[in-house]
Structure 1
Amino acid sequence: MARFYVQGVPIGYMAVMLAVLASMGGFIFGYDTGQISDILLMQDFLLRFATCSDPTNASTCQFSIVREGLIVALLSIGTLIGALLGAKIADFLGRRRAMSSECGIFIVGVIIQITSSHSWVQIALGRLISGLGVGALSAAVPMYQAETAPYQIRGTLTATYQLFITFGILVAYCISIGTRHMSGSGSWRTVVGIGFIWATILGVGILFMPESPRWLASRGRFDEARISLAKSRGIPASETDGNWKLHRELEDMRESLEYEKAVKAGWVDCFKPVNKQLYRTLLVMTLQMFQQLTGANYFFYYGATIFTSVGIEDSFVTQIILGAVNFVCTFGGMYVMEKFGRRWPLIIGGMWQSAWLFVFAAAGTAKPPQDNKSIGTLMIVSACLFIFGYAMTWAPGVWILTGETFPTRTRAKQASLAAASNWLWNFLLAFFTPFIVKAIQFRYGFVFAACNLTGAVIVYFFLYESSDLSLEHVDQMYNDPSCKPWTSVHWAPDGFESRADLVEHRKVEQAQKLGLVDEKKHGDGADEERISHSGSPTERGSVGNGTQGAKAV
């Protein structure tokens, strides 16, 4: 069975395949988000669904603010409802069948949209139903990836969901520019209808992937869970019974499930002040809100309309540029959040984004961009640099924090509340943006600039640095009265001198557990020498402050 090695541990190519395939759920969301901006400007779509003084001339057609807002924003209401239901559906049906069913819901929404002739309400309802599928996928996909991928590459593979969202947005822009000159309804129906392809790839393909071993174990199907683990680890079926690493991982899973049953909590526990539960719930919900208030979706939902208004002759091309910047920079975002932690990327990102939104708004307010090409160019550059900062920091960062800030007993519920906050503000912005733009035009950018600065301030005063810590240690840190958010980067558990000391200890301990020296076969003894000089976990734990032994990492 094909496999490669990470930290001396075998990883099956199946693990990569399932993570990439499942990320098609993110691609579907990105594609559905990106397509509407360009569709709103297509001539046949305007003639059919807008209000026209001359039914034969698209230039006389215009959407009312309410109609445009509903067509764009009802997708977000669907995703909000779907996200809240997605975890329950995935628990009931299993991760794979849940995703396949949710792709079917998305396809129903697509059918409703492309069969509409002149009813904008049908278009809006179709987007609402598609949103139900997309929202449920947004809960099921990261869960499936995290539960199935080997932990050595879990962060990278789970991050592919956000990457595929940006890829979907870019692909939607590219397809729209290719279909905009098609005659009749083919211009917009082709863009919407192609969504069939992405949903079919995921809905059918995921059934050929192994089921989540954690879900199988939670149902007492441990033999099937062992086979699923073996496939993702690249271990042949003939070796599963005698593989001690596989057995140990399955036992860890069994113990974890028993623990979660013992500490199972209700929704009310998410809002109790004890152990900073309320603090953390409100913090991450607020960060999800401010991710929307950065203004990114102002450009993704209404970008084509925005750039038409600044005098750009081909706003479709501008959209592709924005989409490409967003997609490419998301690769950098994965590196930044891993290398530099959580707090400072979000703080610096908020200030960077605020600066360029201020330039965007000031330029558009100072002179009419329709009559001044240099102003229009400056506004496009500012938008691109804003997206650059967003994709590198706030886009991936807030979702990472949603997964690592909460304690085990309430994590699923608190993560659902955080995601619901994101979708709610997504809807509010999508719906009310046309009203606000009509009233204050490009000064809207000043509002987003202020929100970005506010978000940076909230991160500085309230967010604890959780990078390089296990989830258990994150919980300890939030409950340590001597630790403050602005000093949290230096926090380490009892028995460790610093966060760096903790990271080094974890590497050594993992190498000892996995027999890294023997498996990697370096031949020069470097790893063996490093481990022998580091001492045992107990010895290293006693070095920290001289008073307590190391806690489990």
Structure 2
Amino acid sequence: MGALFHIDQVPIGPVSIALALIASMGGFIFGYDTGQISDMLLMPDFLLRFADCSSGATLETASNECVFTNVRSGLIVALLSIGTLSGALIGAPVADWLGRRYAMVTECGIFIVGVVVQITTTHVWQQLALGRLISGLAVGALSVAVPMYQAETAPAQIRGSLTATYQLFITFGILVAYCISIGTRQLDGPSSWRTVVGIGIVWPVILSTGILFMPESPRWLVFHNRNDRALHSIARVHGISYKEAQDHPLPNRLLAEIQSHVDVERQFAAQTGWIDCFRPKNKVLYRTLLGMSLQALQQLTGANYFFYFGATVFKSVGINDSFITQIILGAVNFICTFGGIYVMEKFGRRKPLIIGGIWQSIWLFVFAAAGTAKIPQDNPGIGKLMIVSACFFILGYAMTWAPGIWILIGETFPTRTRAKQASLATASNWCWNFLLAFFTPFIINAIAFRYGFVFASCNLLGAVVVYFFLYESSNLSLEAVDIMYNDPACKPWTSSSWVPAGYLNRRGLEEEKRQTQNDFAVID
């Protein structure tokens, strides 16, 4: 097999890259399902079938004679989030019971069922909403399993980059949904929207097939007393054959470190329940609340205001073809996420999130102020300024808060409660996702573009929360992250310089360990 490349002289195998790309199809499914609904709400056939239309409305007149009530559009958009909220909560026991890979396979099957329910309806909007609810169950469970699997399996040297591919694929899915929507909107009849929804079956098929060829999480394997398979898994991601791994110091040391940490965690409780996520000891409760807060604040950045309702928003500012505007925003989001992968790996987690929160707040303030100062439909310059502001907001979001929060969900929690804490944090994301998706039409009607001021304030709050409560977890093993959170001498604002006892710095961690490679020191 062999290593693909080395970082700090640590071999990185091709399987590391492959597992990140294949597992990230879960993010693509998430993004595709998020991006498709914004444009579908404006398609004439979709309006004619599911909106409230005046008598005698036709395909040619549907755009003017059909309209969704706030409740109906809110439910069609937001029931996906209710499903994802429920899916996030069941994602933990499923991932712990079946393993990370087989959990993903099961969830892909559920997603396909939801797609079939959607494309078989003709005029019943409730069936469409139910199908989105079922698909949401799968999306929510995948949003727990995928980042957790990537964080637990990827080498520490590239964990941030590989976990960030989940967010990259979310943005790619959104962009692809926009592009397919603009390509199908001229099709006759229900093909315009059924094609968009039906193509969604392809993505879970790719994920459920490809993930079976990838190694299982070594931490899950050790926790279930399958150490031989765990050693094989560690060896594969480092490009080492299983035969070589028997005597190779690197996989054996990593396995010993995981085993030691799991043994220590098992001393706290014979069985791990949900209540363990709320115990103050070892800062478990602290991290549960931190994860839930960060996921909520990611939603409150305002990004989904544009992704869910962008086509409607830009139509209201006088843009002739709001579909094109959506593609522009989607492209900015996708392209800038590549920069986000670099930023989160190069500069850690704390600084990008703090700077990103401030940057996003500035551009949302400009967006809201411009839309409030003058009527955009009567002032083309104001409309253009609002689009530019939205693009700069998306640029900052894609490079900081979008990938950063998903990385942190995979690497902040201890092994014993990681799945459940990740579920709670992700459920918080989907809870706020639902609230924003459902109530946004009502809020827009009440305060119009002043809604942007609310999101601007939330971005500033996010920067404050990160500064005072988030520890810097980049370039540390998951076991070392747990030790850092429990070090009373370490504070969030000093955590960037924290290193495990006996090591010079985080970048020099592997070099120090290689000097004592025959003494497999246990971190406990």
TM-score between both structures, scaled by the size of structure 1: 0.86
- Output the amino acid matched with 2:39: D
Structure 2 residue aligned with 1:14:
15
Quick one: structure 1 residues 178 and 150, their matched pair in 2 at CA, closer, same or farther if it must change by over 3 Å? same
Q: Which residue matches 2:391?
A: 384
Equivalent residues in 2 for 1:266-277, closer than 5 Å: 266-277=273-284
Answer with 284-293 or 336-345: which moved more: 336-345
Indicate if the aligned counterparts of 1:505 and 1:537 stay in contact, CA closer than 8 A.
no
Change in Cα spacing, 1:474 to 1:221, as seen in structure 2 (3 Å) is: closer
1:191–1:273: structure 2 CA closer, same or farther, 3 Å change rule? same
Asked whether 1:92 is paired with 2:92, we answer no
Aligned to 1:401: 408
The residue number in structure 1 matching 2:512 is: 509
Match of 1:182, SS?
coil
Aligned to 2:52: 51
- 1:74 counterpart residue number: 79
Partner SS for 1:194:
helix
Which stretch shows the higher mean deviation, 424-433 or 405-414?
405-414
**Conserved 8 A contact 1:9-1:514:** no
In structure 2, the residue corresponding to 1:118 is in which secondary structure? Answer: coil
- In 1, are the aligned partners of 2:38 and 2:309 still within 8 Å (CA)? yes
| Contact 1:25–1:134 (CA under 8 A) maintained in structure 2 | yes
Shift of 1:341: 2.9
1:488-527 superposed matches below 5 A: 488-491=495-498, 501-503=504-506, 505-512=508-515
Counterpart pick for 2:195 among 190, 195, 220: 190
Q: Does 1:235 align with 2:240?
A: yes
Which TM-score applies when normalising by structure 2? Answer: 0.91
Conserved? CA contact 2:20–2:165, under 8 Å: yes
Q: State whether structure 2 residue 294 is matched by structure 1 residue 287.
A: yes
Partner of 1:32: 33
Report how many residues are paired. Answer: 517
Matches of 2:241 and 2:478, distance apart in 1:
32
Over 3 Å counting, the alpha-carbon distance change for 1:493 and 1:9 in structure 2 is closer
96-105 or 257-266, which moves further after superposition? 257-266
Displacement of 1:177 in angstroms is 0.9
Aligned pair in 2 of structure 1 residues 417, 386: CA closer, same or farther (>3 Å)?
same
CA contact (8 A) 1:263 1:409 kept: no
Letter in 2 for 1:381: V
The structure-2 alpha-carbon separation of the partners of 1:464 and 1:257, relative to structure 1 and needing over 3 Å to count, comes to closer
What residue ranges of structure 1 are gaps of 5+ in the alignment? 516-535, 539-550
- CA-CA distance at 1:429 after TM superposition: 0.4
The one-letter code matched in structure 2 to 1:452 is: N
Correspondence 1:178 to 2:183: yes
Amino acid at match of 1:398: I
Query: Is the 8 Å Cα contact of residues 150 and 232 (structure 1) preserved in structure 2?
Result: yes
Kindly indicate whether the alpha-carbon contact (under 8 Å) linking 1:10 and 1:233 is maintained by their aligned counterparts in 2. yes
Question: 1:511 Cα deviation (Å)?
Answer: 4.1
CA distance in 1 between counterparts of 2:455 and 2:354 reads: 15
Q: 1:107 and 1:431 mapped to 2: Cα distance?
A: 24
**CA shift digits 1:414-451 (9 cap, x unpaired):** 22221111111011001100010011111111111111
Conserved 8 A contact 2:166-2:403: no
Q: Does the CA-based 8 Å contact 1:350-1:452 persist in structure 2?
A: yes
Match of 1:435 among 439, 442, 460: 442
Tell me if 1:125 matches 2:130: yes
Q: RMSD of aligned C-alpha atoms?
A: 2.7
1:105-143 deviation line (CA, Å, top 9, x unaligned): 000000000011001101110000001111111122223
Question: Alpha-carbon deviation of 1:484?
Answer: 4.4
Kindly tell me: are residues 3 and 106 of structure 1, through their superposed partners in 2, closer, same or farther at Cα, counting changes over 3 Å?
same
Taking a change above 3 Å as real, the CA distance of residues 66 and 407 of structure 1, as seen in their structure-2 partners, is: same
Which residue of 2 is the match for residue 542 of structure 1? Answer: none
Inter-CA distance 138–432: structure 2 relative to 1 (3 Å threshold) = same
Amino acid at match of 2:420: K
Runs of 4+ in 1 over 6 A off after TM superposition: none
Distance of 2:492 and 2:12 partners within structure 1: 36
Q: Distance in 2 between matches of 1:433 and 1:120?
A: 20
Q: 1:406 to 1:206 in 2, by over 3 A?
A: closer
- Residue in 2 aligned with 1:425? 432
Summarize the Cα distance change of 1:143–1:504 in structure 2 as closer, same or farther, 3 Å threshold.
closer
Match status 1:63 vs 2:68: yes
Contact preservation (8 Å) 1:465, 1:488: yes
Aligned counterpart, 2:467: 460
Supply the distance in 1 between the matched residues of 2:283 and 2:97 (Cα, whole angstroms): 31
Q: In 2, are the aligned partners of 1:509 and 1:537 still within 8 Å (CA)? A: no
Shift of 1:412: 3.1
What is the deviation of 1:330? 1.2
| Amino acid across the alignment from 1:126 | G
Offset, 1:229: 4.1
Cα distance in structure 2, aligned partners of 1:462 and 1:88: 28
Q: 8 Å contact 2:151–2:410 — kept in the other structure?
A: no
